[in-house]
Homo-oligomer: A and B are copies of this chain.
Amino acid sequence: MEAKKNTVEKICEMQTALDILGGKWTFLIIYALLDGKKRFKELERAVTGINTRMLVKELKNLEDHQILTRTAFATVPPTVEYSLTDKGRDLEATMKYLYKWTKDWM
């Protein structure tokens, strides 16, 4: 069956979203933050297997796209907290169904 025009258009639209989100770690970081704001070290522990360099890179990417905010506190040593924006939190339904699929099929 030929793709309906509608579907082709939707796929084009979703490319923009998946250029940001596409990638295993991005989804997992968002999923971890749906649980509540976290410091860098907490995220590193929550997202098992991610390395520090990759986590820095992914957090920067998500911050650049307003999916999360980074708040620095002038403590000694300095602490940094990450939390989802409304845009980020709005991925909750997507993540919930992805988790359900994982439980059902993996």
Contact = CB atoms under 8 A, between A and B. Distances in A.
Question: Copy number of this protein in the oligomer?
Answer: 2
A4 interface: yes
Contact of A28 (B18, B47, B94, B105): B18
A98 B17 contact: yes
Interface residues of A, number: 51
A15 B18 CA distance: 17
Contact of A14 (B10, B16, B98): B98
B10 A99 contact: yes
Contacts of A98: 14, 17, 21, 91, 94
Given A13-B103, A18-B24, 4 more contacts: A1-B35, A3-B45, A16-B102, A94-B94
